[in-house]
A and B are shown apart, each in its own frame.
Chain A
Amino acid sequence: MLEGKKPEFWRWTESNWINPDIGWEEARFITLGIDVGSVSSQAVIMTDGNMYAYGNMRTGADSPNSARNALKFALEKTTLNEDKISYCIGTGYGRVNVPMADRTVTEIACHARGANFFYGSKVRTVLDVGGQDIKAIRCDEKGKVTNFLMNDKCAAGTGRGMEVFADLLSVPIGEVGERSYLVEKEPPAVSSTCVVYAKSEATSLLRKGLSTNEVLAAYCSAMAERIYSLLKRIGIEPEFAITGGMAKNIGVVGRLTKKMGLEPLKTSWDTQLAGAAGAALFGFALCHKRNG
């Protein structure tokens, strides 16, 4: 960033990983899932349906390069070469612009499949809150979608909505969740759904003397309510899992699960990888189907 420019409070850290217990050389099918989201892009490489390596980074100006960079990042710690990959599936908002993809699959299908892999076959309700959308999915024990909705029309409740608030209040995005609990008393939720109006509401709350943390609490609570109402539309069935960037925000997740009376399943995987992992798994299933 240029010096003197306003710091960007919504930044998060990029990461890549390799599974030290797997050698790709023995694998029958090496499949790749690439999820190009509006904010972050992930590449997940699987060897016969097992996690082998991944790269997770911020989406750049265009989808093809974001996909290429995510793949390069995922390959960085491996000795694997791109042409060893048997099949690649592109998913996410930029899926039609993934140059190396053999086919595309919607993020709905991929997230359900990925959640089934990360959390086990007991998952029935999957919530994914991404940078520019909210996906609410119900699935069966195989990770097949039975009911879904995706809201990518409106910024309310999405990561972008939270970024706007983090920026307005000059709070780093990673601190929003914790700080929202540093309040003596839980304030009422911000009442406007529309982010534009919620911003003016926040300004007037600050003028009334609410602290930054209290305004964060009021907005986390509004986000939780918003997400809860979308989940209710598809019907909530346990077990429940949250994927996507918002899963890391305890301010929203804590308030949401309190409303639901349901604890989300835990995983040691980075939840942002669910879409790309689902895509890699579909790639594996398709390879299997084709080659017997």
Chain B
Amino acid sequence: MLANYGYSDGSGNYFITIDTDKCNACGECVEACPANIFEMADEDPNDPMNAEPLPIVLPEKKNKLKYECATCKPSGDNRPTLPCVMVCEGCAITHSW
């Protein structure tokens, strides 16, 4: 499943996508994020018939991603590699902006 957390408003699109098929539920992203936007859920909240843990973006953070992620995303040319993306072995995490 491609779980797109985030939003689109007049100023742009701010989505973090977690590909749950590529995710091995290691939880490294939860540790790596300086803004603590991830959390391990006991089971997939979007698939009640599947009781396996996986990371989600916290509901109280998902509507502020533009701001929460700002420190990892300076607007200059020297765009860093994002910590959450770096630690993910399965390359399950992508950002839309």
Contact = CB atoms under 8 A, between A and B. Distances in A.
A pairs with B: yes
A289 B51 CA distance: 13
B9 A156 contact: yes
A64 to B, nearest CB: 19
A151 B10 CA distance: 12
Contacts, number: 66
Nearest to B14: A153
B4 A229 contact: no
Interface in B44-87: 45-49, 62-63
B46 A108 contact: yes
A234 B2 CA distance: 9
A285 B46 contact: no
A109 B48 contact: yes
Interface in A126-181: 144-154, 156
B8 A230 contact: yes
B26 interface: no
**Majority SS of interface residues in chain A?**
mixed
B91 interface: no
Given A146-B2, A152-B63, A233-B15, A194 B9 contact: yes
A50 interface: no
A194 B1 CA distance: 30
A121 interface: no
A105 B4 contact: no
Given A109-B47, A145-B46, A152-B63, A234 B10 contact: no
Nearest to A198: B10
Contacts of B9: 153-154, 156, 193-194
A250 to B, nearest CB: 24
B15 A149 contact: yes
Contacts of B13: 233
Interface residues of A, number: 30
Contacts of A147: 1-2, 4
B1 A151 contact: no
Contacts of B1: 145-148
A286 interface: yes
A12 interface: no
A223 B13 CA distance: 16
Given A147-B1, A147-B2, A194 B10 contact: yes
A153 B7 contact: yes
Given A152-B63, A234-B2, A144 B47 contact: yes
Contact of B8 (A103, A151, A197, A285): A151
B10 A193 contact: yes
A78 interface: no
Contact of A197 (B10, B15, B47, B63): B10
A16 interface: no
A282 interface: yes
Nearest to B63: A153
Nearest to B8: A151
A192 interface: yes
A97 interface: no
A148 B46 contact: yes
A148 B3 contact: yes
What 8 pairs across the A-B complex have the smallest Cβ distances?
A153-B7, A149-B4, A193-B10, A153-B63, A194-B10, A154-B9, A147-B2, A105-B48
